[in-house]
Each structure stands twice: as structure tokens, then as C-alpha cells.
Amino acid sequence: MNVVLVGCGAMSRQWLDAARQIDGLAIVGLVDLDAERAKARAREYDLASAVIGTSLDAVLDQTRPDAVFDVVVPAARREVAFSAFAHNCHLLTEKPLADSPENARAIIEAARRAERIHAVVQNRRYVANVRRIRRFLDSGAIGAATSIHADFFVAPHFGGFREEMAHVLLLDMAIHTFDAARYMAAGEPSSVYCQEWEPANSWYRQGSSASAVIDFGSGKVFTYAGSWCADGFRTSWEGSWRIVAERGSLIWDGHDGLKAEVVASGRDGLIDKTQPIDVPPLDPADRIGGHLGIIRDFMHAIETGNEPETRGADNIKSLAMVFGAIESAETGRRVAITAQDEK
């Protein structure tokens, strides 16, 4: 499979590290508005024969690849997607799928019309403990989940586009946590209330801290508390989780610490006794591996014609949680999350 990668900034390394582990995948072009960045990546990854350019259209005309890997900033997502589909390419795109609901719908519609595979690197789903939690909850070992709580507190100094963009935590990071919550609890998001604020010490323009309550249907509620400028006691990039179910609870620190307790017989005073219960190990059928796992699934989808797990038409349901939260934060009102059913 011949691929052109567009957007040779920080994240492109992760993609190129993964791509070089895959037999049968050739990077035939590297594009960036800043040609020096594309040239630097070509040198770093021994891609001497790759066509280098600053215009995606021009490099696609010249190389005629099967697919485009989109690693540009969110604001450029739509123009990249339209260029890829116009050149009859499949498209694997970094998160978030788009920077607005209109652009998300337009990109998905363009993929449908072009009959091309379109998938999103929602890589926090391709994490072993996320897969284990989903299977454990599905097994009914602690009953159905009722309350899903995630904390995300990290204080990175990225520089660049994040410090200038609006709704930075919700749009650039919470999409990972929201998607993981929707996946682990098999949630069907229906409404959201959210507040954003800017702590006095924030180095972001807008929206570095947010708290959201999202209704997941079937009696399930997801709460999110997050900040991108909270120094001290940082959480993992996956967040820190407590999932309460009908007959027990599960706690995951976002690293290796995953444990659960189930209700046992008898009471200690006012409180039902509980006992530890094992969360089974990863099932061999569960797909993991972050960017590498997603790129492999994307290629497999192209080869077989099956839709990949993180296809845009499904990922837009997680993005709808983000845009609902943004609208709620802007209006101060609870917002209905519009069903984005796959057609």
C-alpha cells in the first residue's frame, strides 16, 4: 500500500515509527506547509525516494497513492480530507475527526460519496486495560455499569497550536477520554452539561479546564473532570477511572493498576461486604497497539472491504459528546447530543 503522510510535526514520528514496522506499506510522499519539516522526516526515516511537497494536491497528483495519513492540525482536517477523497484515496486521520460538527459531517459525507475507507486514530481505545474493562463489564460480573467517572489532570507545556485554540481540553484531549468512556461502558450519549474555566495560572488561551456530566442512556451517567494546567498529582494520559456498577465497582489508575470489588454476602454495620474479583487478562482477540494497531486495522479494512472499528461514521458519536459539551459550556445549558446514527 502506497501512502502519503501530510503534517510532519511532532506527532508524525509516532506514525512513521509504526509505518516502518508494517510490511507492504510504503511512504511515497511527505507533505507539510513547512517543507523543511517534511525534508527532516525524510532524512530521519530514510525515505530518500519519497516525494516532498508543501501542497497535498500536487503530491497526490504526482504519487497517486492508495491512502493518505493525515497528521495535520485540526483546523486543516477538512481541506486535507477533501483533497484525499478527490484523489480517490482512503484516509486515516489523527483525532479529532474535525474541528466543528459541520466539518465532521461534511468529511463523513465526502468519504461515503467517494466510497473510501475513513478512520480516526482514536488510539486510547487500543489499550489493553480499556479492552479488559469493556469485556469485564460486558460479562456482568459486577452487574451493569451505572456511573462512569474519569479524572484527567496533566500539565503539559506543548507550545504551538494548542495554546491558541479555543476549547483546548475538550476538543484536543477529552475526545480520547470521552471515546474510551463510550466504548468501555457501551454508552449511547444523549445529553451533556459542561462548564469550562481558565485557572489563574493557565498558559492556554481558552478552555484548559472543564467538568462535564454526560447521560449515557439506560441509567448510565458519565462524569468527567479535567485540566491541562493542574500541576501536581498528575494522572495518566488515559485518565483515572472509577466505574460503579449494580453489584460492585472497578478502579483503574490509567496505568497497570486495575482492580474490582463485588458485593459479598453479609454486612459490616451499615455497609454491604465486598470482596476482590479478578478482571480477566486481555483476550487474544482484542486489538491493541496504539497507532500501530490502528494502522494495521485500517490496512486490513482496505484489503477486506470491512469497516474499521474507529471509522469516522462511528467516531462522530464520540465527537458529538465533545461538541455538545462545548455548546453547553458556551450557553450554560444542558445540551441534547444529536444521534449520529450510521447510515
Ligand X SMILES: NC(=O)c1ccc[n+]([C@@H]2O[C@H](COP(=O)([O-])OP(=O)(O)OC[C@H]3O[C@@H](n4cnc5c(N)ncnc54)[C@H](O)[C@@H]3O)[C@@H](O)[C@H]2O)c1
Residues 6+ apart with CB under 8 A from 83: 56, 57, 60, 68
Set of cell numbers at residue 327 = 455548546
Residue whose grid cell is 459542561: 194
CA neighbor of 165 nearest in space, from 194, 192, 196: 196
CB of 287 to ligand X, least distance (A): 16
In terms of CB distance, is 160 or 217 closer to ligand X? Answer: 160
CB of 228 to ligand X, least distance (A): 12
CB of 156 to ligand X, least distance (A): 10
CB of 90 to ligand X, least distance (A): 18
Set of cell numbers at residue 78 = 477538512
In terms of CB distance, is 32 or 66 closer to ligand X? Answer: 32
In terms of CB distance, is 72 or 185 closer to ligand X? Answer: 72
Burial 6-39 (b: 16+ CB within 10 A, else e): bbbbeebebbbebbeeeeebebbbbbbbeeebbb
Handedness of CA 199, 202, 204, 210 (dihedral sign): negative
CB of 145 to ligand X, least distance (A): 25
In terms of CB distance, is 52 or 121 closer to ligand X? Answer: 121
In terms of CB distance, is 123 or 208 closer to ligand X? Answer: 123
In terms of CB distance, is 11 or 263 closer to ligand X? Answer: 11
CB of 94 to ligand X, least distance (A): 4
**At 89, is the secondary structure helix, strand, or coil?**
coil
In terms of CB distance, is 155 or 262 closer to ligand X? Answer: 155
CB of 289 to ligand X, least distance (A): 13
CA neighbor of 143 nearest in space, from 254, 260, 224, 223: 260
Please state whether beta strands 2-6 and 67-70 pair in parallel, antiparallel, or not at all (unpaired): parallel
Give the footprint of ligand X on this chain (CB under 6 A): 6-11, 31-34, 37, 56, 71-74, 76, 79, 94-95, 121, 123, 160-161, 172
Chain position whose Cβ is nearest to ligand X? 9
Q: Identity (one letter) of the amino acid at 214?
A: I
Residues 6+ apart with CB under 8 A from 340: 316, 317, 320
